[in-house]
Amino acid sequence: MTELRGALIGCGFFAVNQMHAWRDIAGVSIVAICDRDPERLRIVGDQFGIARRYTDATTLFAGESLDFVDIATTAPSHRPLVEMAARHRVPAICQKPFAPTLADAKAMVKACADAGVKLMVHENFRWQSPVQAVRAVLDSGEIGTPFFGRISFRSAYDVFSGQPYLATGKRFIIEDLGIHSLDIARFLLGDVSTITTRTARINPAIAGEDVATMLMDHKSGPTSVVDCSYATKLATEPFPETLIEIDGSDGTIRLAQGYRLTVTGKNGTKVTDASPPLLPWASRPWHNIQESVVAIQQHWVDCLAAGREPATSGADNLKTFALVEAAYAGAASREPVQLDALL
Ligand code: NAD
Ligand code: 89V
């Protein structure tokens, strides 16, 4: 098999994880990198031994023959960069949040579909091994048909030191973190018909909301609560664990803090340790997220090889992104929002 040639655009805080992950995956290599900030370009280029460096994406596409681009910039640049990839007929991975608005996201999906190139959103939380373990229990039928779910992320971890832009945007926790929790809810319980949302800002030093509580009706029947907070001080800081509760007709699933997975079902109760592995380059507490980066990037390589649509394709992510838009609209109006009207 010939090796896939990729380029990374955006060499910031999170992209370092993506570069480590590309190094762990067989059959692919990052041949060029791009960042408009020459210092970030130098740091990542030197760390990963990438000689071909560009300060603007137009020159990158003109100068390289690529099998894909991995876009790890922040949201404002996602649409122009994805559309540039589509114009060059280069498949693209785009970091979350997919775009500043749902209209932008729809245009990006259309551009790639029209160009006949694959588009995957780097929506990695569903790829965390504890979340995959919950999905496997559901698939086994052990707890029967789910009728309730709770996807919970509550923390007081200082995310602003690594990602200062999170403190300044008008939108914060739903757009940055809740987006992952909403995607996990879809992954486990299916698509959503209605969402009701309440938000709060507890930390006075930031611009956006840092607490959100969302109640959702899933089309297949279950109700779920998705709750997230960066204002929750706990005895043991759980960042970045997502805690999950699912009740089904024949039993329950509890993914508790410390990655303790308890399944009570047709075969009694079983408690397992669903901890993610600590990869050699990873560091606690981020290792859970870091492992999922390898998993989603491996999935992309597998999909390109097989000509398959990625699970978190651009088209799939429109449904997660619509939940974000609907949550903000519903938080403002204090009314439930119907999802089908947005899609
Ligand atoms: P960052 O600001 O540290 O890095 C972004 C980099 O992109 C910067 O170096 C910037 O100079 C560069 N850049 C911006 N626009 C560009 C353009 N048009 N051309 C070339 N370079 C450009 O941001 P970050 O914290 O690394 O976040 C990047 C993205 O990753 C965000 O969308 C964020 O939400 C997402 N993120 C995802 C996860 C996850 O688990 N999936 C975790 C953290 C961050
Ligand atoms: O995963 C993310 O998107 C990150 C963090 C976990 C800090 O919210 O921005």
Task: Render pLDDT for 306-334 as a digit per residue (tens, 0 to 9).
Answer: 999 999 999 999 999 999 999 999 999 99
Domain boundaries, the chain: 4-117, 126-283+319-338
186-239 pLDDT per residue, tens: 999 999 999 999 999 999 999 999 999 999 999 999 999 999 999 999 999 999
Q: Do domains 4-117 and 126-283+319-338 have the same CATH topology?
A: no
Which ligand is the nearest neighbour of the Cα of 44?
1
At 2 the pLDDT is 83
Ligand 1 in contact with 240 (CB < 6 A)? no
Q: How confident is the model at residue 143 (pLDDT cuts 50, 70, 90)?
A: very high
CA 78 – CA 96 distance, rounded (Å): 9
What DSSP state is assigned to residue 313? B
Report the atom number in ligand 1 closest to the C-alpha of 55. Answer: 20
Ligand 1 in contact with 74 (CB < 6 A)? yes
60-72 pLDDT per residue, tens: 999 999 999 999 9
Decide: 329 and 337 in contact? Cβ < 8 Å.
yes
Best mutation site among 9, 11, 13 for ligand 1 pocket (most ligand atoms within 8 Å of CB): 13
CA dihedral for 93, 98, 101, 103, sign (positive or negative) = positive
Ligand 2 in contact with 163 (CB < 6 A)? yes
Q: Go through the chain and tell me how many residues it has.
A: 343
For residue 179, is pLDDT > 80?
A: yes
CATH no., domain 4-117: 3.40.50.720
Q: What is the mean pLDDT of the chain?
A: 98
Report the atom number in ligand 2 closest to the C-alpha of 177. Answer: 8
Q: Which residues contact 63 (CB under 8 A, 6 or more apart)?
A: 32, 52, 54
Which residues lie across from 226 on neighbouring strands?
151, 214
> What is the four-CA torsion angle of 220, 340, 99, 87, rounded to 10 degrees?
100
Nearest CA to ligand 2 atom 9: 176
Decide: 304 and 139 in contact? Cβ < 8 Å.
no
Mean pLDDT, range 103-125, rounded to an integer? 98
29-77 pLDDT per residue, tens: 999 999 999 999 999 999 999 999 999 999 999 999 999 999 999 999 9
CATH no., domain 126-283+319-338: 3.30.360.10
CA of 121 to the centre of ligand 2 (A): 14
Q: How confident is the model at residue 184 (pLDDT cuts 50, 70, 90)?
A: very high
For residue 1, is pLDDT > 90?
A: no
Q: How confident is the model at residue 119 (pLDDT cuts 50, 70, 90)?
A: very high
196-209 pLDDT per residue, tens: 999 999 999 999 99
Pairing status of strand 68-71 against strand 4-9: parallel
At 200 the pLDDT is 98
Mean pLDDT, range 278-302, rounded to an integer? 98
pTM of the model: 0.98
Ligand 1 in contact with 20 (CB < 6 A)? no
Ligand 1 in contact with 9 (CB < 6 A)? yes
Let me know how many helices (H) and strands (E) the chain has, helices first: 10, 15
Report the atom number in ligand 1 closest to the C-alpha of 162. Answer: 25
